[in-house]
Structure 1
Amino acid sequence: MWDVISDKLRQAKKIVFVTGAGISQESGIPTFRGKDGFWRKYDPMKLATIDAFYEDPKLVWEWYEERRKNILDANPNPGHVAIAELEKYKQISVLTQNIDGLHQRAGSSSVYELHGSIITIRCTVCDFNDKITSEFSQIPPLCKCGNMLRPDVVWFGEALPQKVWESAIEEARSCDVMVVVGTSLVVSPANLLPVYARQNGATMVEVNIDQTPMSSSMYLSLRTSAAKALPRLVDILS
Protein backbone atom coordinates (compact mmCIF):
# COMPACT_ATOMS: atom_id res chain seq x y z
CA MET A 1 0.00 0.00 0.00
CA TRP A 2 2.61 2.51 1.10
CA ASP A 3 5.19 1.37 -1.46
CA VAL A 4 4.08 3.93 -4.03
CA ILE A 5 5.22 6.79 -1.78
CA SER A 6 7.95 5.09 0.25
CA ASP A 7 10.61 7.41 -1.17
CA LYS A 8 8.59 10.50 -0.24
CA LEU A 9 8.14 9.16 3.28
CA ARG A 10 11.85 8.51 3.70
CA GLN A 11 12.78 11.94 2.34
CA ALA A 12 10.24 13.81 4.47
CA LYS A 13 11.51 15.88 7.37
CA LYS A 14 8.11 16.43 8.95
CA ILE A 15 5.02 14.22 8.79
CA VAL A 16 1.75 15.58 10.14
CA PHE A 17 -1.23 13.39 11.00
CA VAL A 18 -4.77 14.75 11.01
CA THR A 19 -6.90 12.29 12.95
CA GLY A 20 -10.60 11.89 13.54
CA ALA A 21 -13.04 9.57 15.26
CA GLY A 22 -12.27 6.66 12.93
CA ILE A 23 -8.90 5.93 14.53
CA SER A 24 -10.43 5.81 18.01
CA GLN A 25 -13.34 3.64 16.88
CA GLU A 26 -10.82 0.82 16.65
CA SER A 27 -10.26 1.26 20.39
CA GLY A 28 -13.96 0.75 21.02
CA ILE A 29 -14.98 4.42 21.04
CA PRO A 30 -17.98 4.97 18.71
CA THR A 31 -17.76 7.64 16.02
CA PHE A 32 -20.24 10.49 15.89
CA ARG A 33 -21.35 9.92 12.31
CA GLY A 34 -20.96 6.17 11.84
CA LYS A 35 -23.78 3.67 12.05
CA ASP A 36 -23.03 3.14 15.75
CA GLY A 37 -22.18 6.79 16.42
CA PHE A 38 -23.25 8.79 19.43
CA TRP A 39 -25.38 11.14 17.34
CA ARG A 40 -27.58 8.21 16.28
CA LYS A 41 -28.75 7.78 19.87
CA TYR A 42 -28.88 11.39 21.07
CA ASP A 43 -29.87 14.76 19.70
CA PRO A 44 -26.59 16.72 19.57
CA MET A 45 -28.46 19.99 19.95
CA LYS A 46 -29.60 18.76 23.36
CA LEU A 47 -26.15 17.65 24.47
CA ALA A 48 -23.38 19.50 22.65
CA THR A 49 -24.20 23.21 22.59
CA ILE A 50 -23.75 25.91 25.18
CA ASP A 51 -27.50 26.57 25.12
CA ALA A 52 -28.22 22.91 25.87
CA PHE A 53 -25.73 23.01 28.72
CA TYR A 54 -27.36 25.99 30.42
CA GLU A 55 -30.83 24.55 29.79
CA ASP A 56 -30.04 21.19 31.41
CA PRO A 57 -26.47 21.06 32.77
CA LYS A 58 -27.15 17.87 34.73
CA LEU A 59 -28.19 15.94 31.59
CA VAL A 60 -25.18 17.17 29.62
CA TRP A 61 -22.76 16.39 32.44
CA GLU A 62 -24.18 12.89 32.98
CA TRP A 63 -23.76 12.15 29.27
CA TYR A 64 -20.19 13.43 29.20
CA GLU A 65 -19.34 11.53 32.37
CA GLU A 66 -20.54 8.31 30.75
CA ARG A 67 -18.45 9.06 27.67
CA ARG A 68 -15.41 9.90 29.78
CA LYS A 69 -15.61 6.61 31.67
CA ASN A 70 -15.88 4.68 28.39
CA ILE A 71 -12.86 6.54 27.05
CA LEU A 72 -10.77 5.88 30.14
CA ASP A 73 -11.58 2.17 29.82
CA ALA A 74 -10.31 2.17 26.21
CA ASN A 75 -6.69 1.64 25.17
CA PRO A 76 -4.66 3.02 22.27
CA ASN A 77 -4.76 0.70 19.27
CA PRO A 78 -1.94 -0.15 16.82
CA GLY A 79 -2.76 2.98 14.80
CA HIS A 80 -2.13 5.27 17.77
CA VAL A 81 0.97 3.31 18.73
CA ALA A 82 2.40 3.45 15.20
CA ILE A 83 2.10 7.25 15.07
CA ALA A 84 3.93 7.51 18.39
CA GLU A 85 6.67 5.12 17.26
CA LEU A 86 7.34 7.23 14.18
CA GLU A 87 8.86 9.89 16.41
CA LYS A 88 11.96 7.67 16.52
CA TYR A 89 12.53 8.40 12.83
CA LYS A 90 10.82 11.66 11.85
CA GLN A 91 9.48 14.92 13.19
CA ILE A 92 5.84 14.07 13.89
CA SER A 93 2.86 16.22 14.84
CA VAL A 94 -0.71 15.12 15.44
CA LEU A 95 -3.63 17.45 14.76
CA THR A 96 -6.61 15.63 16.22
CA GLN A 97 -10.33 16.24 16.29
CA ASN A 98 -10.62 13.62 19.03
CA ILE A 99 -11.08 14.53 22.68
CA ASP A 100 -10.05 11.16 24.14
CA GLY A 101 -6.32 11.64 24.80
CA LEU A 102 -5.41 8.27 23.24
CA HIS A 103 -2.59 9.76 21.18
CA GLN A 104 -0.88 11.01 24.32
CA ARG A 105 -1.45 7.71 26.09
CA ALA A 106 0.18 5.93 23.14
CA GLY A 107 3.27 8.10 23.55
CA SER A 108 2.87 10.92 21.02
CA SER A 109 4.56 14.05 22.33
CA SER A 110 3.28 16.71 19.90
CA VAL A 111 -0.52 16.59 19.91
CA TYR A 112 -2.81 19.52 19.14
CA GLU A 113 -6.35 18.87 20.41
CA LEU A 114 -8.51 20.93 18.07
CA HIS A 115 -11.77 20.15 19.86
CA GLY A 116 -10.48 20.14 23.43
CA SER A 117 -10.30 17.25 25.87
CA ILE A 118 -12.90 15.26 27.77
CA ILE A 119 -10.25 14.66 30.44
CA THR A 120 -10.20 18.33 31.48
CA ILE A 121 -12.71 20.83 32.82
CA ARG A 122 -12.97 24.58 32.83
CA CYS A 123 -15.06 27.19 34.56
CA THR A 124 -17.90 28.89 32.72
CA VAL A 125 -16.87 32.24 34.19
CA CYS A 126 -13.32 32.41 35.58
CA ASP A 127 -10.04 31.17 34.07
CA PHE A 128 -9.91 27.89 36.03
CA ASN A 129 -8.87 24.88 33.93
CA ASP A 130 -7.66 21.49 35.19
CA LYS A 131 -7.65 17.75 34.62
CA ILE A 132 -10.41 15.61 36.12
CA THR A 133 -8.73 13.53 38.82
CA SER A 134 -11.66 12.03 40.72
CA GLU A 135 -15.42 11.53 40.74
CA PHE A 136 -17.49 14.66 41.24
CA SER A 137 -19.38 15.03 44.51
CA GLN A 138 -22.22 16.70 42.67
CA ILE A 139 -23.49 17.07 39.10
CA PRO A 140 -23.07 19.63 37.68
CA PRO A 141 -19.77 20.31 39.49
CA LEU A 142 -19.02 23.79 40.73
CA CYS A 143 -15.84 25.84 40.54
CA LYS A 144 -14.23 27.35 43.62
CA CYS A 145 -15.63 30.67 42.44
CA GLY A 146 -19.13 29.21 42.78
CA ASN A 147 -19.99 29.00 39.08
CA MET A 148 -20.56 25.84 37.05
CA LEU A 149 -17.72 23.84 35.56
CA ARG A 150 -18.08 22.46 32.05
CA PRO A 151 -16.29 19.82 29.97
CA ASP A 152 -13.30 21.42 28.24
CA VAL A 153 -14.52 20.51 24.77
CA VAL A 154 -15.60 22.52 21.75
CA TRP A 155 -19.35 22.41 21.29
CA PHE A 156 -21.35 23.10 18.13
CA GLY A 157 -21.28 26.81 17.38
CA GLU A 158 -18.13 27.46 19.41
CA ALA A 159 -14.79 28.54 18.00
CA LEU A 160 -11.72 26.32 18.23
CA PRO A 161 -9.12 27.35 20.84
CA GLN A 162 -7.33 30.13 18.99
CA LYS A 163 -3.75 29.29 19.94
CA VAL A 164 -4.24 25.60 19.16
CA TRP A 165 -5.81 26.39 15.81
CA GLU A 166 -3.04 28.81 14.82
CA SER A 167 -0.42 26.22 15.76
CA ALA A 168 -2.26 23.55 13.77
CA ILE A 169 -2.26 25.76 10.67
CA GLU A 170 1.48 26.31 11.03
CA GLU A 171 2.08 22.57 11.39
CA ALA A 172 0.00 21.89 8.26
CA ARG A 173 1.81 24.55 6.26
CA SER A 174 5.25 23.24 7.19
CA CYS A 175 4.86 19.49 6.65
CA ASP A 176 6.28 17.41 3.81
CA VAL A 177 3.70 14.64 4.15
CA MET A 178 0.21 14.85 5.63
CA VAL A 179 -1.63 11.66 6.56
CA VAL A 180 -5.36 12.15 7.14
CA VAL A 181 -6.69 9.29 9.27
CA GLY A 182 -10.25 8.35 10.16
CA THR A 183 -11.92 11.70 9.61
CA SER A 184 -14.83 12.48 7.32
CA LEU A 185 -13.35 15.91 6.51
CA VAL A 186 -16.77 17.53 6.71
CA VAL A 187 -16.29 19.44 9.98
CA SER A 188 -15.09 23.00 9.59
CA PRO A 189 -12.56 24.49 10.11
CA ALA A 190 -10.51 21.31 10.70
CA ASN A 191 -11.21 20.21 7.12
CA LEU A 192 -9.11 23.16 5.94
CA LEU A 193 -5.89 21.65 7.28
CA PRO A 194 -5.32 19.44 4.20
CA VAL A 195 -5.79 22.56 2.06
CA TYR A 196 -3.00 24.36 3.90
CA ALA A 197 -0.75 21.33 3.49
CA ARG A 198 -1.45 21.05 -0.25
CA GLN A 199 -0.66 24.73 -0.70
CA ASN A 200 2.77 23.95 0.74
CA GLY A 201 3.24 21.13 -1.75
CA ALA A 202 2.91 18.35 0.82
CA THR A 203 2.26 14.78 -0.28
CA MET A 204 -1.29 13.96 0.78
CA VAL A 205 -2.32 10.53 2.06
CA GLU A 206 -5.70 9.38 3.34
CA VAL A 207 -6.46 6.35 5.50
CA ASN A 208 -10.20 5.83 5.84
CA ILE A 209 -12.50 2.87 5.36
CA ASP A 210 -14.98 5.25 3.70
CA GLN A 211 -14.52 7.67 0.85
CA THR A 212 -14.43 11.37 1.82
CA PRO A 213 -14.99 14.61 -0.10
CA MET A 214 -11.21 14.95 -0.47
CA SER A 215 -10.38 11.37 -1.46
CA SER A 216 -10.02 12.23 -5.14
CA SER A 217 -7.45 14.94 -4.39
CA MET A 218 -5.18 12.66 -2.36
CA TYR A 219 -1.89 11.34 -3.72
CA LEU A 220 -2.77 8.03 -2.05
CA SER A 221 -6.13 7.08 -0.59
CA LEU A 222 -6.34 3.80 1.32
CA ARG A 223 -9.70 2.18 2.07
CA THR A 224 -8.55 0.44 5.23
CA SER A 225 -8.26 1.02 8.96
CA ALA A 226 -5.54 2.90 10.81
CA ALA A 227 -4.70 -0.15 12.91
CA LYS A 228 -3.92 -2.11 9.74
CA ALA A 229 -2.27 0.61 7.66
CA LEU A 230 -0.13 2.72 9.98
CA PRO A 231 2.17 -0.02 11.36
CA ARG A 232 3.26 -0.54 7.74
CA LEU A 233 4.48 3.06 7.71
CA VAL A 234 6.70 2.28 10.69
CA ASP A 235 8.11 -0.72 8.83
CA ILE A 236 9.07 1.52 5.90
CA LEU A 237 10.87 4.09 8.02
CA SER A 238 12.53 1.82 10.55
Structure 2
Amino acid sequence: MKKKLVVLSGAGISAESGIKTFRDADGLWEGHDVMEVASPQGWHKNPNLVLDFYNQRRRQLKEVQPNAAHTILGELEEHFDVHIITQNVDDLHERGGSTKIIHLHGELRKVRGEHSENELIHWEEDVELGYKNQLGEQLRPAIVWFGEAVYEIERSIPVVEQADILVVIGTSLQVYPAAGLMHYAKPHIPVYYIDPKPATIYDLPNPLEVFALSATEGMRKLRDLLIR
Protein backbone atom coordinates (compact mmCIF):
# COMPACT_ATOMS: atom_id res chain seq x y z
CA MET A 1 0.00 0.00 0.00
CA LYS A 2 1.59 3.27 -1.12
CA LYS A 3 1.66 6.22 1.24
CA LYS A 4 -0.62 9.10 0.25
CA LEU A 5 1.43 12.14 -0.80
CA VAL A 6 -0.73 15.26 -1.16
CA VAL A 7 0.68 18.33 -2.89
CA LEU A 8 -0.73 21.86 -2.64
CA SER A 9 0.77 23.84 -5.52
CA GLY A 10 0.65 27.51 -6.50
CA ALA A 11 1.94 29.85 -9.17
CA GLY A 12 5.57 29.46 -8.13
CA ILE A 13 5.82 25.96 -9.58
CA SER A 14 4.80 27.23 -13.03
CA ALA A 15 6.88 30.43 -12.90
CA GLU A 16 10.02 28.49 -13.85
CA SER A 17 8.27 27.37 -17.03
CA GLY A 18 7.74 31.01 -17.99
CA ILE A 19 4.16 31.51 -16.78
CA LYS A 20 3.94 34.83 -14.94
CA THR A 21 2.36 35.12 -11.52
CA PHE A 22 0.33 38.21 -10.69
CA ARG A 23 1.42 38.31 -7.04
CA ASP A 24 4.87 39.57 -8.09
CA ALA A 25 3.63 42.72 -9.74
CA ASP A 26 1.41 44.77 -7.41
CA GLY A 27 -1.76 42.93 -8.35
CA LEU A 28 -1.08 43.24 -12.08
CA TRP A 29 -1.33 40.09 -14.17
CA GLU A 30 0.49 40.39 -17.52
CA GLY A 31 0.03 44.18 -17.33
CA HIS A 32 -3.66 44.11 -16.41
CA ASP A 33 -5.36 44.98 -13.14
CA VAL A 34 -6.48 41.61 -11.81
CA MET A 35 -10.05 42.79 -11.25
CA GLU A 36 -10.34 43.79 -14.93
CA VAL A 37 -9.64 40.26 -16.13
CA ALA A 38 -10.49 37.99 -13.18
CA SER A 39 -13.80 39.18 -11.74
CA PRO A 40 -17.48 39.01 -12.76
CA GLN A 41 -17.48 42.84 -12.75
CA GLY A 42 -14.60 42.93 -15.24
CA TRP A 43 -16.42 40.42 -17.45
CA HIS A 44 -19.66 42.46 -17.51
CA LYS A 45 -17.76 45.68 -18.12
CA ASN A 46 -15.58 44.46 -21.01
CA PRO A 47 -16.07 40.83 -22.07
CA ASN A 48 -13.90 41.34 -25.16
CA LEU A 49 -10.92 42.32 -23.01
CA VAL A 50 -11.44 39.29 -20.75
CA LEU A 51 -11.80 36.85 -23.66
CA ASP A 52 -8.69 38.27 -25.33
CA PHE A 53 -6.71 38.02 -22.09
CA TYR A 54 -7.49 34.31 -21.65
CA ASN A 55 -7.03 33.63 -25.38
CA GLN A 56 -3.48 34.92 -24.98
CA ARG A 57 -2.92 32.80 -21.86
CA ARG A 58 -4.23 29.73 -23.72
CA ARG A 59 -1.88 30.41 -26.64
CA GLN A 60 1.01 30.84 -24.21
CA LEU A 61 0.38 27.34 -22.83
CA LYS A 62 1.34 25.90 -26.22
CA GLU A 63 4.75 27.58 -25.96
CA VAL A 64 5.74 26.49 -22.44
CA GLN A 65 6.79 23.12 -21.09
CA PRO A 66 6.58 21.46 -17.67
CA ASN A 67 9.74 21.93 -15.61
CA ALA A 68 11.61 19.48 -13.38
CA ALA A 69 9.31 20.18 -10.42
CA HIS A 70 6.30 19.01 -12.47
CA THR A 71 8.07 15.95 -13.88
CA ILE A 72 9.46 14.87 -10.48
CA LEU A 73 5.90 14.94 -9.08
CA GLY A 74 4.85 12.75 -12.02
CA GLU A 75 7.71 10.32 -11.35
CA LEU A 76 6.85 10.12 -7.62
CA GLU A 77 3.67 8.24 -8.58
CA GLU A 78 5.92 5.15 -8.84
CA HIS A 79 6.57 5.39 -5.10
CA PHE A 80 3.52 7.16 -3.64
CA ASP A 81 -0.20 7.65 -4.17
CA VAL A 82 0.21 11.26 -5.33
CA HIS A 83 -2.71 13.72 -5.31
CA ILE A 84 -2.19 17.30 -6.48
CA ILE A 85 -4.46 20.18 -5.47
CA THR A 86 -3.39 23.21 -7.48
CA GLN A 87 -4.32 26.87 -7.62
CA ASN A 88 -2.88 26.96 -11.15
CA VAL A 89 -5.04 27.12 -14.26
CA ASP A 90 -2.36 25.73 -16.60
CA ASP A 91 -2.04 22.03 -17.52
CA LEU A 92 1.66 21.61 -16.67
CA HIS A 93 0.98 19.09 -13.89
CA GLU A 94 -0.89 16.91 -16.39
CA ARG A 95 1.87 17.24 -18.96
CA GLY A 96 4.47 16.53 -16.27
CA GLY A 97 2.94 13.08 -15.78
CA SER A 98 0.68 13.55 -12.76
CA THR A 99 -2.68 11.78 -13.00
CA LYS A 100 -4.74 12.86 -9.94
CA ILE A 101 -5.20 16.63 -10.03
CA ILE A 102 -7.81 18.99 -8.62
CA HIS A 103 -7.80 22.49 -10.14
CA LEU A 104 -9.18 24.80 -7.43
CA HIS A 105 -9.37 27.86 -9.66
CA GLY A 106 -10.40 26.32 -12.97
CA GLU A 107 -8.54 25.46 -16.16
CA LEU A 108 -7.39 27.52 -19.13
CA ARG A 109 -8.21 24.71 -21.56
CA LYS A 110 -11.84 24.54 -20.43
CA VAL A 111 -14.76 26.92 -21.10
CA ARG A 112 -18.38 27.03 -19.96
CA GLY A 113 -21.63 28.80 -20.61
CA GLU A 114 -22.00 32.11 -18.81
CA HIS A 115 -24.69 30.76 -16.47
CA SER A 116 -23.76 27.05 -16.49
CA GLU A 117 -21.42 26.78 -13.52
CA ASN A 118 -21.06 22.99 -13.68
CA GLU A 119 -20.42 22.82 -17.42
CA LEU A 120 -16.87 22.11 -18.64
CA ILE A 121 -16.06 22.05 -22.36
CA HIS A 122 -12.53 21.20 -23.47
CA TRP A 123 -11.26 24.08 -25.61
CA GLU A 124 -7.91 24.65 -27.35
CA GLU A 125 -8.50 27.69 -29.56
CA ASP A 126 -9.60 31.31 -29.07
CA VAL A 127 -13.07 32.18 -27.74
CA GLU A 128 -14.88 35.15 -29.28
CA LEU A 129 -18.06 37.04 -28.42
CA GLY A 130 -20.92 35.16 -30.06
CA TYR A 131 -19.50 31.68 -29.36
CA LYS A 132 -22.27 29.91 -27.44
CA ASN A 133 -23.03 26.65 -25.70
CA GLN A 134 -26.02 24.42 -26.53
CA LEU A 135 -28.26 26.54 -24.28
CA GLY A 136 -27.37 29.67 -26.23
CA GLU A 137 -25.19 31.14 -23.46
CA GLN A 138 -22.03 33.06 -24.26
CA LEU A 139 -18.95 30.94 -23.62
CA ARG A 140 -16.55 32.24 -20.95
CA PRO A 141 -13.35 30.89 -19.43
CA ALA A 142 -13.92 28.09 -16.91
CA ILE A 143 -11.85 30.04 -14.40
CA VAL A 144 -12.90 30.82 -10.83
CA TRP A 145 -12.77 34.61 -10.65
CA PHE A 146 -12.48 36.76 -7.52
CA GLY A 147 -15.85 36.78 -5.80
CA GLU A 148 -16.94 33.39 -7.22
CA ALA A 149 -17.31 30.20 -5.20
CA VAL A 150 -14.37 27.77 -5.14
CA TYR A 151 -16.46 24.62 -5.56
CA GLU A 152 -13.51 22.22 -5.67
CA ILE A 153 -12.51 23.13 -2.10
CA GLU A 154 -15.12 20.65 -0.81
CA ARG A 155 -13.56 17.81 -2.83
CA SER A 156 -10.07 18.84 -1.67
CA ILE A 157 -10.61 18.80 2.11
CA PRO A 158 -11.00 14.98 2.47
CA VAL A 159 -7.94 14.46 0.24
CA VAL A 160 -5.81 16.56 2.62
CA GLU A 161 -7.36 14.85 5.65
CA GLN A 162 -6.19 11.46 4.34
CA ALA A 163 -2.59 12.56 3.56
CA ASP A 164 0.40 10.69 4.99
CA ILE A 165 2.77 13.40 3.73
CA LEU A 166 1.87 16.98 2.74
CA VAL A 167 3.92 19.11 0.35
CA VAL A 168 3.20 22.83 -0.14
CA ILE A 169 5.03 24.25 -3.13
CA GLY A 170 5.26 27.61 -4.89
CA THR A 171 2.57 29.47 -2.99
CA SER A 172 2.62 32.64 -0.91
CA LEU A 173 -0.24 31.24 1.22
CA GLN A 174 -2.16 34.49 0.67
CA VAL A 175 -5.14 33.25 -1.36
CA TYR A 176 -8.04 31.77 0.60
CA PRO A 177 -9.67 29.31 0.86
CA ALA A 178 -6.71 27.48 -0.75
CA ALA A 179 -4.23 28.67 1.88
CA GLY A 180 -6.33 27.13 4.65
CA LEU A 181 -6.25 23.61 3.23
CA MET A 182 -3.02 22.60 5.00
CA HIS A 183 -4.77 22.95 8.34
CA TYR A 184 -6.94 19.91 7.51
CA ALA A 185 -3.91 17.60 7.62
CA LYS A 186 -3.61 15.10 10.47
CA PRO A 187 -1.46 16.79 13.15
CA HIS A 188 1.33 14.18 13.19
CA ILE A 189 2.14 13.93 9.47
CA PRO A 190 5.23 15.70 8.03
CA VAL A 191 4.70 18.91 6.05
CA TYR A 192 7.30 20.16 3.55
CA TYR A 193 7.07 23.77 2.30
CA ILE A 194 9.05 24.74 -0.80
CA ASP A 195 9.20 28.41 -1.83
CA PRO A 196 12.10 30.82 -2.50
CA LYS A 197 10.37 33.42 -0.28
CA PRO A 198 8.45 31.25 2.18
CA ALA A 199 5.63 32.80 4.17
CA THR A 200 5.62 32.32 7.94
CA ILE A 201 3.26 29.51 8.89
CA TYR A 202 1.47 29.89 12.21
CA ASP A 203 -0.58 27.46 14.29
CA LEU A 204 0.45 24.31 12.41
CA PRO A 205 0.83 21.38 14.83
CA ASN A 206 2.72 19.29 12.27
CA PRO A 207 6.46 18.71 11.98
CA LEU A 208 7.36 21.32 9.34
CA GLU A 209 10.43 21.48 7.11
CA VAL A 210 10.91 24.59 4.97
CA PHE A 211 13.07 24.59 1.83
CA ALA A 212 13.69 28.23 0.84
CA LEU A 213 14.43 27.14 -2.73
CA SER A 214 12.95 27.37 -6.20
CA ALA A 215 10.36 24.74 -7.08
CA THR A 216 12.80 22.67 -9.16
CA GLU A 217 15.62 22.80 -6.59
CA GLY A 218 13.23 22.07 -3.74
CA MET A 219 11.59 19.13 -5.51
CA ARG A 220 14.98 17.57 -6.33
CA LYS A 221 15.94 17.81 -2.68
CA LEU A 222 12.57 16.47 -1.50
CA ARG A 223 12.60 13.57 -3.98
CA ASP A 224 15.98 12.42 -2.68
CA LEU A 225 14.77 12.76 0.92
CA LEU A 226 11.48 10.88 0.37
CA ILE A 227 12.87 8.04 -1.73
CA ARG A 228 15.88 7.54 0.50
Query: TM-score scaled by structure 2?
Result: 0.90
Could you say what the CA RMSD is over the residues aligned between the two structures, in angstroms? 2.2
How many Å separate the matches in 1 of 2:82 and 2:162?
11
The one of 21, 26, 41 aligned to 2:31:
41
- Secondary structure at 2:112 match in 1: strand
How many Å separate the matches in 1 of 2:182 and 2:125?
38
Q: Tell me how far 1:42 sits from its aligned partner.
A: 1.3
Q: Tell me how far 1:129 sits from its aligned partner.
A: 2.4
Query: Contact 2:129–2:138 (CA<8 Å) still a contact in 1?
Result: no
Alignment match, 2:136: 146
- Secondary structure at 2:172 match in 1: coil
Structure 1's 148 and 58: CA in aligned 2 closer, same or farther, altered over 3 A?
A: same
Alignment match, 1:226: 215
Q: Which moved more, 1:147-156 or 1:63-72?
A: 63-72
Unaligned 5+ segments in structure 2 are: none
The one of 112, 115, 118 aligned to 1:122:
112
Alignment match, 1:176: 164
The one of 100, 123, 130 aligned to 1:132:
123
Count of residue pairs the alignment pairs up: 224
Structure 1's 229 and 215: CA in aligned 2 closer, same or farther, altered over 3 A?
A: farther
Structure 1's 81 and 39: CA in aligned 2 closer, same or farther, altered over 3 A?
A: same
Query: Contact 2:58–2:124 (CA<8 Å) still a contact in 1?
Result: no
Q: Tell me how far 1:50 sits from its aligned partner.
A: 1.0
How many Å separate the matches in 1 of 2:120 and 2:2?
37
Q: Which moved more, 1:217-226 or 1:145-154?
A: 217-226
Alignment match, 1:193: 181
Q: Tell me how far 1:31 sits from its aligned partner.
A: 0.9
Structure 1's 213 and 158: CA in aligned 2 closer, same or farther, altered over 3 A?
A: farther
Q: Tell me how far 1:202 sits from its aligned partner.
A: 2.0
Alignment match, 1:6: none
- Secondary structure at 1:185 match in 2: coil
CA deviation map 1:113-143 (0-9, x unaligned): 011101100001346421113344x335322
List aligned pairs for 1:207-226, cutoff 5 A: 207-214=194-201, 217=204, 219-226=208-215
Structure 1's 45 and 189: CA in aligned 2 closer, same or farther, altered over 3 A?
A: same
- Secondary structure at 2:179 match in 1: helix
How many Å separate the matches in 2 of 1:181 and 1:140?
39
- Secondary structure at 1:202 match in 2: coil
How many Å separate the matches in 2 of 1:99 and 1:191?
16
Identical-pair percentage: 33
Unaligned 5+ segments in structure 1 are: 1-10
Matching of residue 80 in structure 1 with residue 70 in structure 2: yes
The one of 195, 204, 213 aligned to 2:191:
204
Partner letter of residue 30 of structure 1? K
Alignment match, 1:102: 92
Q: Tell me how far 1:231 sits from its aligned partner.
A: 2.4
Structure 1's 75 and 216: CA in aligned 2 closer, same or farther, altered over 3 A?
A: farther
Q: Tell me how far 1:55 sits from its aligned partner.
A: 1.7
How many Å separate the matches in 2 of 1:175 and 1:17?
9
Query: Contact 1:97–1:114 (CA<8 Å) still a contact in 2?
Result: yes
Higher helix content, 1 or 2 = 1
